[in-house]
Structure 1
Amino acid sequence: MTTHHRPHRAAVLGMPIAHSLSPVLHTAAYRELGLTDWEYGRYEVDEAGLPGFVAGLEPGAWAGCSLTMPLKRAIIPLLDEVSETALAVDAVNTLVFEADGRRTGDNTDVPGLVAALRERGIEKVPSAAVLGAGATASSALAALARLGAAEVTVYVRSPERAREMQALGERLQVAVRTADWARGAEALAGPLTVATTPVGATDAFAGQLTATPGALFDVLYHPWPTPLAAACAEHGATVLGGLDLLVHQAVLQFERFTGITPGPLAAMRAAGEAALAGH
């Protein structure tokens, strides 16, 4: 398995970046497959600094970059080509430097969400709910569309966000209903709820569970479990966490950067679990 003909540098860019687990996951993949000449770093880059940073990367040395907040939208004008998935959700988390010099953008959060759910036996969902309406909620909506959801209820705080999610639903051909954030605990009675909000936002819902909840995908990974994830698990629900999403989207990035498939999912997950256990 030679990689000498390929560029072999990659990194995660964002601000703040110190907490990112991406270097741990990608480095574990290189180690697992004996890719000794590959390295994966991290760089603190904000929106203003992004064009200069990308322009300054040594041609031919870089395979790609992972992008986290606040760069997922800011990268788009700097690209030669953007995948349909990334365009639909207006977010690129994967920058690939093609052999011909073109910069292409993709979104591995959407297929990563789908892959994580399928790994747990959730292949199709007729309807679902999303808690929150930020960038991760957009990816969740696109993932739910791929899983066949005809209707998704989004629990939001602001009318503006509600309109944005309805517009995205139209593009994805999913009927989006919006509901008031305060009623979010109702969502959990449905077949699948994706919680996309920051730490603490859903804690109040944990004490409001009545019936047996459906599956919960909570995109947080630290601290874990969240009160909501713990409550759903106690009620016997299938629960997925942020590490599931992180690992599955990182495997897809690894495959794009290296050209090697399949990526070593188990090794990357074990590295992520070990890193979180050490927090």
Structure 2
Amino acid sequence: MSAGAKRRAAVLGSPIAHSLSPALHRAAYAELGLEGWSYDRFEVDEAALPGFLSGLGPEWAGLSLTMPLKRAVIPLLDEVSETAASVEAVNTVVCTDDGRRVGDNTDIPGMIAALRERGITQVESAAILGAGATASSALAALSRICAGEIVTYLRSEARAAEMRQWGKRLDVEVRTATWAEAAEAFHAPLVIATTPAGTTDSLAPAVPERPGTLFDVLYDPWPTELAARWSMFGGAVVSGLDLLVHQAVLQVEQMTGCAPAPLRAMRAAANGAMARRCTGSDPSSR
């Protein structure tokens, strides 16, 4: 694909106005010299997804997907990668030159890359706070770097059963515990928090004096009370912005065929967009 070719990509989801993906992908295109490339955002829910996909022309290179589309898109694709199939979640669709649509999950390798950047390539045990699609992706990432037990802390037995099923599917040892026991998670060398904003705030006072590593998948607002407390005691913290950047790097490489993608430029774009959001000076970055 020539640098001046007109190609399109976009992020889809509902809600989508908050997405930072356009800032990251556009920064990558600029750094790579892909002048004919554009990246937009579209408000698309599950009902509208089939129609949106059927209307894509040959100029489309790929799509980034956020909630609630990661599972809904699977039956609409021609192929799904082993990684995405392992957690039944697709966040990346690549439109091939022969018209096929291939789904992948860059959240899982993105988590691993974000941890590797902090020097974490292997842990003896780990804990996950929460359930759902992000928690299953975290479990899949841990299946590759955790040598021992993974404990998940959840609010309902239905969610606990679901996480145990994911463990069997991913061939990892998973033990479930109640949310009332969640403070125990902080003694694990690696804790991955996958819960919505505010959920872990009440747990912050329970952070021990010498915590390990916290991977909090949130990035807005930031820092969370848990992340702030963790940092105060000297623990390493990986943020959702780190995940966002690393999974987007992999998306850019797949959609454009240009590797390596410009990690530094994409991180700078993400940090800049977050700074403008915090000051309210750039509504378009939301």
TM-score exceeds 0.5: yes
The amino acid of 2:139's aligned partner reads L
Q: How does 1:236-275 map to 2 (within 5 A)?
A: 236-275=234-273
Q: How does 1:76-225 map to 2 (within 5 A)?
A: 76-225=74-223
Shift, 1:213, TM fit:
1.2
> What is the Cα-based RMSD across aligned positions, in Å?
1.1
TM-score by length of 1: 0.97
CA distance in 2: counterparts of 1:82 and 1:149, whole angstroms = 27
CA distance in 2: counterparts of 1:269 and 1:11, whole angstroms = 18
Please tell me whether residue 24 in structure 1 is matched to residue 58 in structure 2: no
Shift, 1:148, TM fit:
3.3
The amino acid of 1:144's aligned partner reads L
CA distance in 2: counterparts of 1:210 and 1:25, whole angstroms = 35
Shift, 1:185, TM fit:
1.6
Shift, 1:3, TM fit:
3.3
CA distance in 2: counterparts of 1:99 and 1:250, whole angstroms = 21
Aligned to 2:56: 57
Shift, 1:210, TM fit:
3.0
The amino acid of 2:267's aligned partner reads R
| Ranges in structure 1 where 5+ consecutive residues have no aligned partner | none
TM-score by length of 2: 0.95
Please tell me whether residue 43 in structure 1 is matched to residue 42 in structure 2: yes
CA distance in 2: counterparts of 1:210 and 1:174, whole angstroms = 27
Contact (CA 8 Å) 2:186, 2:208: kept in 1 or not?
A: no
| Ranges in structure 2 where 5+ consecutive residues have no aligned partner | 278-286
Contact (CA 8 Å) 2:12, 2:44: kept in 1 or not?
A: yes
Contact (CA 8 Å) 1:128, 1:149: kept in 2 or not?
A: no
SS at match of 2:206: coil
